[in-house]
Structure 1
Amino acid sequence: MIYIDRIETQDVVATREISRDEMSDYLLTFPALLWRIEIARSRIELLNARKLPVLEDRSGLFMKSPDFRRRVVLPEDLHFIEAFMEAMKRGDAAETIVRVCATGQEEEQLCWLKVAGWSSPRDPRYYMGYLMDVSDRAEGIRSILEKDAEQQMLIDLAENPTLIVDFDTRQVLSLNTAAASAFMYPGNGMTHLDFGMLHHPGMTNRVHRLFEEIVFARKWEGKLEYVRRSHATFSARTSVRLLTLKGRRLLRVSLTDLRSASGDEDAEERTAPPPDREFARLEKELHARLKPLPDIAEILAVLHAFRLPSYDCDGLLFSDIHQRRNKVFVHWAGEPFTGMPQGEMFPFDGTIAQDIVSYKLDSLIVDDTLDSIKAIDWALFIPRGIRSYFAKPFYRRGVLRAVLILCSRRPAAFPTTGLPEYSILFDPFDKAIQAWRTRQRHQGA
């Protein structure tokens, strides 16, 4: 018999048997080519009989023959599969996706194959994995990207505020920077808002008629009143066009001749402090709050409590980087990380810091951790409900020493347009960490 040691639910821990027949059914019906390799002898000692449609009877050759792989994998993708095979020889967990072209048929068939592997936890001499056709998933992602790109093209060339609204749901799908500025929303803060939240309540009947008329006329022009995020109102000459994109009805809403309710379109801008001046004031205030603090937990608590003008976070992390020792010590603030030890150690490999070093990133934004393949996201963020984060590295003499990470339970909470605001935290954090390190060294002397 084969045993599953523990099956855990919230209230029950149970143990049950899986028969060899059940395991055999699982291996035979799993929708992928399953294999296990004895690394030292470079031989496949287990291979199921799954045939991938693109490779048919030659499916097993993909794992066995370098020559066969070179014949079927697109040349520009060969380095991905070669890097995977090198990782396999080292016993490192790895995965990649490559495009395969099946020749010898009436039409060449292009498919996407995913190969993933890892060392056996019981015996590192063995490396196991699977080869799976993910073409449907790849085409779905490509379709989404193409649709989003085409939507964005509809507005990117416009200098005046422009939005794309779904005709049927009336949700804002995308907008340009001018629209975000006009309505005073941060970054993509308007996406998924109902169009009814943007126009003045007094315009409800007129907007309702707009949606009725545009079905037949395909276009509408007139003056509407709108509401900014600050609840101030303004009017604008509005041009609306009904478009169809990939079977979806969209409205392209373009605003010109913007005027505030008082008739002075610049009134709000003159009463609000210039962003640069306000950001400088906030940065100075944060410096003053952090300067006297000796303890890292206090430093992070103040940083977390310090609210940016347009963005907030549910948690905040400081990664203390020791790359040569392959160690990252993580300190935290915020409710999602309650119960986690301060200074918990993680291996450098697989962390945000490793990505930053590998790809020489100035910063890193993850819009949805559920789409991530990074080990640290699944080990640290996802179990605590963190869906998106912004990470900023800090260097000393060219060596990465610290990473500040703003975390949110909402997806896409940190758009790139927020960088000027995030930067309010950078210098105060950096100086506070330097002072903390200095105190640590003196205490250890």
Structure 2
Amino acid sequence: MPDSTSKPNSHPEEKILANYFEELPGIVWRIDVVSNEITFLNKHAASPEGERIRAVLQNPQIPQEVIVPEDREQFRYSHQLIRSRRRTACSFRVRTETGRIKWYKLMGMPDPAHPRCSLGILLNISDHAETIMKATGSPQLSDKIDMVDQPVLLVRFMDRTVHLANQAARQLLSYDDNTLSRLTLQDLLRDNPDTDLYQVYEGLIFSDHWNGDLLVTDALGRSHLCAARIQAISRQEDNLLWITLSHHNNCTACKGVPVRGNETVAPRFSGASMRRCASVKTLLKTLLRALPEKSPTNALLLSRIFIDENVVSVTGVGTPFDKDPEDFAHPYEGSIAESILRFNQPNHVVAETSKSIKAIDWALFIPRGIRSYFAQPFYTDSGLTYVLIFCSTEPDSYDPDSEAPLKGLHQEFIANLERCLAKKR
């Protein structure tokens, strides 16, 4: 049975929304990506096997048992995006206990009312799919990729040219159909380092799939940072790469267009004041005062990294973090530190948090009104140890191509930070 969800009488709009969910021809769900819990928001059963279909979202073993082998990888990738609070949509086929094939569509998005949740619907689209197949026989690849809401490209494995692109991909890349058909994968991925592309090809050679972040260049030369999933497929004797993209950032941030120079140390600030600090919070407050007048930075955040424990320990200063305790914990998975290490970034800049897909942005920054930030990593002999984050309540406050804010104080800051931490041990 689906979970029961309370609908307070004091909020009539919630009653309206609950009634709307009950009328939808699909299973409406909410997943808390932090506590890994799913709640079903309506009583709809997509088929007489409703319990079994709902279990596809709950039990990792069920998709391996009921989803046809050709669609399992696409479902798994879409489910990963849901757990990362990203927008996604995919279609897949399920074999029922009687041996019949049914089509389903899974759609998900970040829940705007719950910063740690994804919200979505699971629809039975068998009638729609069967109508297409009766009209045209087995669905063509062009029909199949157009059922996906995210940008999809099919690239010929032999010469790496674009074979097909769905409407979402054509809109993202802004190429006309004739130009798109002449493009190669190298054209689209030209802004990525050769070492990154080597890892992509290595992944495809050894496991037939690869996923990670890539820069995809459009017709205007703008680089779009996208989460990419590349899967090798074979269709009617054609060997193809199925590439699904999920857009990360706005084009300004992706392209690296300077927004403004990052702040240097205020002329009247003395580094000696840091040597008088006795605690981490006092040190961070002193560093915050080192910023020049009219600085867009409203707060500082120090993240201490404990990868083996899957934890980052966070201490913040400035109005957005005034009510937060010192050393409050967040999972390392989905953190800024994880992004920095995974993609070997010298720093990590977010120009507009409302467009972010990182779990920690929705759990930590967005609820406190942080619109943009610049994160600077620091390494010791044991690896990534600290991340210092300059936070602003205004978007586009930091230039990703400039040196980190207050770079001239970083060395002295770290020395005094370790002194303050040693007192706590």
Normalising by structure 1, we get a TM-score of: 0.48
- Deviations for 1:377-405, whole angstroms, at most 9, x for unmatched residues? 01111111111100011112142111100
- Which amino acid is the alignment partner of residue 84 of structure 1? Y
Q: Does the Cα contact within 8 Å between 2:280 and 2:421 map onto a contact in 1?
A: no
Closer, same or farther in 2 for the Cα pair 1:282/1:20, shift >3 Å?
closer
**Cα separation, 2, equivalents of 1:398 and 1:292:** 27
**2:68 aligns to what?**
65
Aligned CA-pair RMSD: 4.8
Deviation of 1:146 (Å): 4.5
**Cα separation, 2, equivalents of 1:114 and 1:143:** 27
Closer, same or farther in 2 for the Cα pair 1:325/1:404, shift >3 Å?
same
Q: Does the Cα contact within 8 Å between 2:84 and 2:358 map onto a contact in 1?
A: no
Percent of matched pairs sharing the same residue: 24
**2:323 aligns to what?**
339
Closer, same or farther in 2 for the Cα pair 1:308/1:114, shift >3 Å?
farther
Equivalent of residue 77 in structure 2, options 84, 88, 91: 84
**Cα separation, 2, equivalents of 1:377 and 1:86:** 20
Q: Does the Cα contact within 8 Å between 2:336 and 2:360 map onto a contact in 1?
A: yes
Of the structure 1 ranges 17-26 and 296-305, higher mean CA displacement relative to structure 2 is found in 17-26
Is residue 293 from structure 1 mapped to residue 313 from structure 2 by the alignment?
no
Deviation of 1:331 (Å): 0.7
Closer, same or farther in 2 for the Cα pair 1:294/1:94, shift >3 Å?
same
- Deviations for 1:224-257, whole angstroms, at most 9, x for unmatched residues? xxxxxxxxxxxxxxxxxxxxxxxxxxxxxxxxxx
Q: Does the Cα contact within 8 Å between 1:394 and 1:403 map onto a contact in 2?
A: yes
Equivalent of residue 59 in structure 2, options 28, 36, 39: 39
**2:25 aligns to what?**
27
Closer, same or farther in 2 for the Cα pair 1:13/1:141, shift >3 Å?
same
Deviation of 1:15 (Å): 10
**Cα separation, 1, equivalents of 2:281 and 2:326:** 8
Structural mapping, 1:357-376, within 5 Å: 357-376=341-360
Of the structure 1 ranges 401-410 and 21-30, higher mean CA displacement relative to structure 2 is found in 21-30
**Cα separation, 2, equivalents of 1:325 and 1:313:** 31
Is residue 379 from structure 1 mapped to residue 382 from structure 2 by the alignment?
no
Deviation of 1:413 (Å): 0.5
What is the DSSP-based 3-state SS (H/G/I as helix, E as strand, rest coil) of the residue aligned with 1:315?
Answer: strand
Closer, same or farther in 2 for the Cα pair 1:384/1:394, shift >3 Å?
same
Deviation of 1:343 (Å): 1.6
**Cα separation, 1, equivalents of 2:318 and 2:22:** 47
Closer, same or farther in 2 for the Cα pair 1:83/1:64, shift >3 Å?
closer
What is the DSSP-based 3-state SS (H/G/I as helix, E as strand, rest coil) of the residue aligned with 1:5?
Answer: coil
- Deviations for 1:183-228, whole angstroms, at most 9, x for unmatched residues? xxx94249xxxxxxxxxxxxxxxxxxxxxxxxxxxxxxxxxxxxxx
Deviation of 1:67 (Å): 2.6
Deviation of 1:330 (Å): 0.9
Q: Does the Cα contact within 8 Å between 2:89 and 2:108 map onto a contact in 1?
A: no
**1:235 aligns to what?**
none
- Which amino acid is the alignment partner of residue 323 of structure 1? I
Q: Does the Cα contact within 8 Å between 2:259 and 2:398 map onto a contact in 1?
A: no
Closer, same or farther in 2 for the Cα pair 1:85/1:99, shift >3 Å?
closer
Deviation of 1:434 (Å): 1.2
**1:435 aligns to what?**
419
**2:95 aligns to what?**
none
**1:5 aligns to what?**
6
**1:418 aligns to what?**
402
**Cα separation, 1, equivalents of 2:122 and 2:84:** 9
Normalising by structure 2, we get a TM-score of: 0.50
Deviation of 1:326 (Å): 1.5
**Cα separation, 1, equivalents of 2:331 and 2:17:** 37
**Cα separation, 2, equivalents of 1:427 and 1:331:** 19
Equivalent of residue 330 in structure 1, options 314, 320, 334: 314
Is residue 307 from structure 1 mapped to residue 310 from structure 2 by the alignment?
no
Bigger CA radius of gyration: 1
Which structure has more relative contact order (CA 8 Å, sep 6+)? It is 2
Equivalent of residue 350 in structure 1, options 327, 331, 334: 334
**Cα separation, 2, equivalents of 1:86 and 1:146:** 27
Structural mapping, 1:236-251, within 5 Å: none
**Structure 2 runs not aligned, ≥5 long:** 29-45, 47-52, 92-104, 111-119, 124-146, 152-166, 176-216, 224-250
What is the DSSP-based 3-state SS (H/G/I as helix, E as strand, rest coil) of the residue aligned with 1:133?
Answer: coil
**Cα separation, 2, equivalents of 1:139 and 1:319:** 40
Is residue 319 from structure 1 mapped to residue 318 from structure 2 by the alignment?
no
- Deviations for 1:137-184, whole angstroms, at most 9, x for unmatched residues? 655544498576479xxxxxxxxxxxxxxxxxxxxx99xxxxxxxxxx
**1:133 aligns to what?**
149
Closer, same or farther in 2 for the Cα pair 1:40/1:335, shift >3 Å?
closer
Equivalent of residue 387 in structure 2, options 403, 419, 434: 403
**Cα separation, 1, equivalents of 2:67 and 2:309:** 37
- Which amino acid is the alignment partner of residue 5 of structure 1? S
- Which amino acid is the alignment partner of residue 346 of structure 2? D
Q: Does the Cα contact within 8 Å between 2:302 and 2:387 map onto a contact in 1?
A: yes
Is residue 188 from structure 1 mapped to residue 259 from structure 2 by the alignment?
yes
Structural mapping, 1:228-267, within 5 Å: none
**Cα separation, 2, equivalents of 1:84 and 1:29:** 20
Deviation of 1:20 (Å): 9.5
Q: Does the Cα contact within 8 Å between 1:326 and 1:349 map onto a contact in 2?
A: yes
